[in-house]
Structure 1
Amino acid sequence: MTAHPKQAPAAGALCAFAALHHAEEPLLLPNAWDCASARALAGQGFRAIGTTSLGVAAAAGLPDGAAATRAETLRLALALGSEPWLLSVDAEGGFSEDPDEVAGFARELYALGVVGINLEDGLGPADRHAAKIAAVKEAAPGLFVNARTDTHWLGDGDSVDTFARLDAYQQAGADGVFVPGLTDLRQITALVRHAHAPLNVLYSPDGPSVTHLADAGVRRISLGSLLYRRALGAVLEAVAEIRAGRAPVGLTPTYQEVARQVAP
């Protein structure tokens, strides 16, 4: 799928998104997987919304983290990039190992109005990921690059490796750094002190609260696939209640409300 320039984000929008990482309160970033979920979240007052690669992939019946959803990710950006709120896109590893191809994809996102991109290293070579980051910053200098390392997500959580990777990604031009899977407040605080770019962590219901993360100096808290998985959980809970002869409980938007999210 090839995107044609639609509406590159205004300089004010780019600055506004970057500024959210330096505000008094950390940026709480909910992650959507389609138009309805994104617009529903925007309706709750969130100034910025991210996408979740798992949600986008699962909704399309494709594997996550396998570079299989480039077209679906671009299609969602095409639908949402011109919305009045700020959109950051989870692009896995950029859907290619070629830095130039990753840069081309980032340029397409930028042309659609996207203000941020999340790029994960998947615990591959740090120099290759750094090359992708540098290529993206050259192709779309205003795009906020959130560089993710999977040392705690896929690896053994080695702090030396984590520090080294974050150093390499910041030197390559990353605007923010992301370490999902990290829930120990002492380690989080150490990373905040080490990194000169805003630190992003993944919220976990079993981990520190938003308040504790803020007190530790975290500047961005992503919800990742949590909302998508909770939505699936609500489906299973509702059908179990109905099967048992009971009315399902919980928040249920009306048909009209959902229809307006898609075609306001």
Structure 2
Amino acid sequence: MASAQFFAEAGHRAVGTTSLGVAAAIGAADEDRETLTATADLVAALRRALPEQPLTCDFEDGYGDSPESVFASVREAFAADPADPAGRLIIDGINIQDSRHALMSEPVVLAAKMAAVKEACPDLFVNARIDTFWLGQDSLGEVLERIDAYADAGADGIFVPGDLDLSTIETITARSRVPVNVLASPRYSRTTLAEAGVARISTGSLLYRAAMSEALRSLAVLADDSPAETENVLSYRAFTELG
């Protein structure tokens, strides 16, 4: 919650949640479909704190197997008013993936889920995450086929996570009819990715993992009998002054 406010104050134009971070915070395993309530609570708190900020969240595989159950989960989690016939939501976008527990689903499965959500919530940005490369399956042809299938089903964006080289990214962006999202890369800058056709860069769980890594490093400094390192650390007052 505080991190989102700091990010917004720093000028970042959108805020997204990570399913890994939410799962870790409640002691659950990522992709176990146990984070729906925690995600809904987090998004509601973010919307109260940042009423004008575009918000998107990681929605795992939709928290269900059928298109109907996925749409029901979206409404349950994000309805501004459950009694509102217009079905307005408090969130601007969701990221929904085509794998669970390292197993890819058939393209038709995610396509049907997205189609159901888009039909009921046409203004919701649905980002279709293709996990082929993420799971170590080096099949660009399959990724391209899934891009077409998900765009045909109404996806507003395509997300292809993995350590992709530029030529692969360029092939993907040239094929996709909708904006392409990739993970922040240790190899390529934002400008380089943009020149390859990327429209959106996701930090995924990077910021959560970076924060945990720095916390562990700070403890290790103390354990080594060294003075605490506080330079470049946000002050206590910075948190108490959050609006």
Using the size of structure 2 for normalisation, the TM-score is 0.89
Could you tell me how far 1:249 is from its partner in structure 2? 4.3
Could you tell me how far 1:209 is from its partner in structure 2? 1.6
Q: Which runs of 5+ in 1 are unaligned?
A: 1-34
The more displaced of 98-107 and 248-257 is 248-257
Matches within 5 A, 1:65-214: 65-82=31-48, 83=50, 84-107=52-75, 108-109=77-78, 111=80, 112-122=89-99, 123-205=104-186, 207-214=187-194
* Bigger relative contact order, structure 1 or 2 (CA pairs below 8 A, ≥6 apart): 1
Could you tell me how far 1:195 is from its partner in structure 2? 0.4
Could you tell me how far 1:78 is from its partner in structure 2? 1.1
Counterparts of 2:232 and 2:79 in 1: how far apart (Å)? 35
Q: What is the aligned partner in structure 1 of residue 86 from structure 2?
A: none
Counterparts of 1:39 and 1:145 in 2: how far apart (Å)? 24
1:90-143 residue CA offsets vs partner (Å, 9 max, x unmatched): 111111112111112223425352000000111211101100000110121100
Q: What is the aligned partner in structure 1 of residue 213 from structure 2?
A: 233
Q: What is the aligned partner in structure 2 of residue 9 from structure 1?
A: none
1:137-187 residue CA offsets vs partner (Å, 9 max, x unmatched): 012110000000100001412011101111111000000000000420000
Pair 1:37–1:190, CA change in 2 (3 A): same
Could you tell me how far 1:250 is from its partner in structure 2? 4.3
Q: What is the aligned partner in structure 2 of residue 38 from structure 1?
A: 4
Check if 1:254 corresponds to 2:235: yes
SS of the residue corresponding to residue 15 of structure 2 reads: strand
Cα-Cα RMSD: 1.4
1:204-263 residue CA offsets vs partner (Å, 9 max, x unmatched): 22x3221110110100000111111010111011111122222214432222322333xx
* Contact 1:106–1:139 under 8 Å retained in 2: no
Counterparts of 1:167 and 1:251 in 2: how far apart (Å)? 46
Pair 1:67–1:222, CA change in 2 (3 A): same
Using the size of structure 1 for normalisation, the TM-score is 0.82
Percent pairwise identity: 44
SS of the residue corresponding to residue 239 of structure 2 reads: helix
* Contact 1:182–1:188 under 8 Å retained in 2: no
Which letter does structure 2 place at the counterpart of 1:40? F
Q: What is the aligned partner in structure 2 of residue 53 from structure 1?
A: 19
Counterparts of 1:149 and 1:204 in 2: how far apart (Å)? 17
Counterparts of 1:182 and 1:230 in 2: how far apart (Å)? 18
Moved runs in structure 1, 4+ residues, more than 3 A? none
Pair 1:105–1:220, CA change in 2 (3 A): same
How many residue pairs end up in the alignment?
A: 227
Counterparts of 1:39 and 1:136 in 2: how far apart (Å)? 29
Counterparts of 2:96 and 2:189 in 1: how far apart (Å)? 25
Pair 1:148–1:250, CA change in 2 (3 A): farther
Q: What is the aligned partner in structure 2 of residue 17 from structure 1?
A: none
Which letter does structure 2 place at the counterpart of 1:57? A
* Contact 2:163–2:185 under 8 Å retained in 1: no
Counterparts of 1:251 and 1:98 in 2: how far apart (Å)? 48
